[in-house]
Amino acid sequence: LTSGLESAWNKLKGEEVLTKENIVEPMREIRRALLEADVSLPVVRRFVQAVSDQAVGVGVTRGVKPDQQLVKIVNDELVKLMGGEVSELVFAKSAPSVILLAGLQGVGKTTVCAKLAYYFKKQGKSSMLIAGDVYRPAAIDQLVILGDQVKVPVYTAGTDTKPSEIARQGLAEAKKKNIDVVIMDTAGRLQIDKGMMDELKEVKRVLNPTEVLLVVDAMTGQEAAALVTTFNLEIGITGAILTKLDGDSRGGAALSVKEVSGKPIKLVGRGERMEDLEPFYPDRMAGRILGMGDVLSFVEKAQEVMRQEDAEELQKKIMSAKFDFNDFLKQTRAVARMGSMTRVLGMIPGMGKVTPAQIREAEKSLKIMEAMIEAMTPEEKEQPELLAESVTRRKRIAQESGKTEQQVSQLVAQLFQMRVRMKNLMGVMEGGSIPALNN
């Protein structure tokens, strides 16, 4: 998925803004990447439409390239697709809270039981496991061993008792022991069948659970979303747990579940160890898919630093050659802020690596510039020509700011150079000569 999206951004290299025309190719790449990641076609269609609509309407943020802008839009849509916020587990008002786990065979239900118990333990909640997979004695043993490992009690009643009866007994036992959370393991089948669904319905009726979570294997891709939908229609579930995200799953399951089934992924499993269970964070998942977390924060920061109004205002000034020392200062400060940001974020594609030494250097020269600009009168700030014309003024500024005359001259020259560079940047060539400093 990542490499497919990568080529989507690459198609925008060298473009100035996002347009209806130049996003056609990148959108095609995004579409292909999502389909390859096993996201279902209707979801892909809606997704691509939503991204295109936003991309074309988006304004320009200075310092942000269109490909970065598109990464940001795609990221935000991915987050939205996956449900936006974290879906927290719900707890009962009066203990015990009851979690019923369901799912096909081998998806990781029994493992999740113990992982959950361990997860709650870290939060200071006690839990108890109920062994409800009565079809294989080994399944009960497995849960007992895992329960031992995380040091939580496991309620078992052998293989001759009906799961719903085990559920009833287990729940009664948990109430007696003042357990905070009861977690019930159930039997899976290789495929959905009526026997399994009926059994789950029966257990659910007995337990009246706070959470009914379907455990699905991330490796099953689109199938995962279909399963969540089916189980929800059949028995009514509150969410899903996506396991085996550590494997080389293509991520499609994580993207489709919420959109297809209407039910959120609440937790994800990322390995076989007990600590490999965590809440499902749509934003982190999106970042992982895009593999470009740094670009995202960069775009956000740049948008903060340079508000659109500012950018337009500045553009007008440059067009009319009114770019003065006030703008110069604002601009330089913004760039400096972006500089210290790059230090935090590390590398930004296309910008090269900014070393801490370079940033310190930039901050130092900003301080020097600020001192000189502060020593200017308002007229001087607004009309840099005054300074180009008068060596007396430059001398005074040097004295007041404690800098050398040469430094002041340099600053003045820099401003005019910047005017020219910016005009060139905007494709307006005329009127931008650099005056020779008058002695």
Residues that bind ligand GDP (CB under 6 A): 103, 105-111, 188, 243-244, 246-247, 269-272, 276
What is the smallest separation between the CB atom of 200 and Mg ion, expressed in angstroms?
14
- Residue 379 interacting partner from ligand GDP, Mg ion, none (CB closer than 5 to 8 Å by kind): none
Q: How far is CA 425 from the centre of its chain?
A: 33
Nearest residue (CB) to ligand GDP, 160 versus 248:
248
Backbone angles phi, psi at 130, to 5 degrees: -120, 125
What is the smallest separation between the CB atom of 273 and ligand GDP, expressed in angstroms?
9
What is the smallest separation between the CB atom of 185 and ligand GDP, expressed in angstroms?
7
Instruction: Please give the single-letter amino acid code of residue 163.
Output: P
Alpha helices in 131-162 (DSSP H): 137-150
156: contact with Mg ion by CB under 5 A: no
What is the smallest separation between the CB atom of 105 and Mg ion, expressed in angstroms?
7
111: contact with Mg ion by CB under 5 A: no
Q: How far apart are CA 270 and CA 247, in angstroms?
A: 8
Tokens of 54: 């936003």
What is the smallest separation between the CB atom of 194 and ligand GDP, expressed in angstroms?
19
- Residue 262 interacting partner from Mg ion, ligand GDP, none (CB closer than 5 to 8 Å by kind): none
Q: How far apart are CA 109 and CA 234, in angstroms?
A: 19
Nearest residue (CB) to ligand GDP, 16 versus 148:
148
Q: How far apart are CA 47 and CA 81, in angstroms?
A: 8
- Residue 63 interacting partner from ligand GDP, Mg ion, none (CB closer than 5 to 8 Å by kind): none
Q: How far is CA 285 from CA 60, 81, 293, 353, 427, in A?
A: 27, 11, 10, 26, 41
- Residue 271 interacting partner from Mg ion, ligand GDP, none (CB closer than 5 to 8 Å by kind): ligand GDP
What is residue 219's DSSP assignment? Answer: G
Q: How far apart are CA 242 and CA 270, in angstroms?
A: 9
Q: Measuring CA to CA, which residue among 19, 62, 59 is closest to residue 422?
A: 62
What is the smallest separation between the CB atom of 207 and ligand GDP, expressed in angstroms?
18
What is residue 241's DSSP assignment? Answer: E
110: contact with Mg ion by CB under 5 A: yes
Considering only 94-102, 131-139, 295-303, 360-368, which stretch makes contact with Mg ion by CB under 5 A? 131-139
- Residue 393 interacting partner from Mg ion, ligand GDP, none (CB closer than 5 to 8 Å by kind): none
- Residue 403 interacting partner from ligand GDP, Mg ion, none (CB closer than 5 to 8 Å by kind): none
> Do 264 and 255 form a contact (C-beta atoms < 8 A)?
no
- Residue 111 interacting partner from ligand GDP, Mg ion, none (CB closer than 5 to 8 Å by kind): ligand GDP
Give the CA angle between residues 89, 94, 100 to the nearest 5°: 45
Tokens of 178: 């003042």
What is residue 11's DSSP assignment? Answer: T
What is the smallest separation between the CB atom of 239 and ligand GDP, expressed in angstroms?
17
- Residue 84 interacting partner from Mg ion, ligand GDP, none (CB closer than 5 to 8 Å by kind): none
Q: Is the peptide bond before 96 cis (omega within 30 degrees of 0)?
A: yes
Considering only 47-55, 136-144, 222-230, 410-418, which stretch makes contact with Mg ion by CB under 5 A? 136-144
Burial class (CB in 10 A: 0-12, 13-18, 19+), 300: middle
Binding mask 299-338 for Mg ion (x = CB under 5 A): ----------------------------------------
Nearest residue (CB) to Mg ion, 188 versus 384:
188
Contact set with Mg ion (CB under 5 A) = 109-110, 139
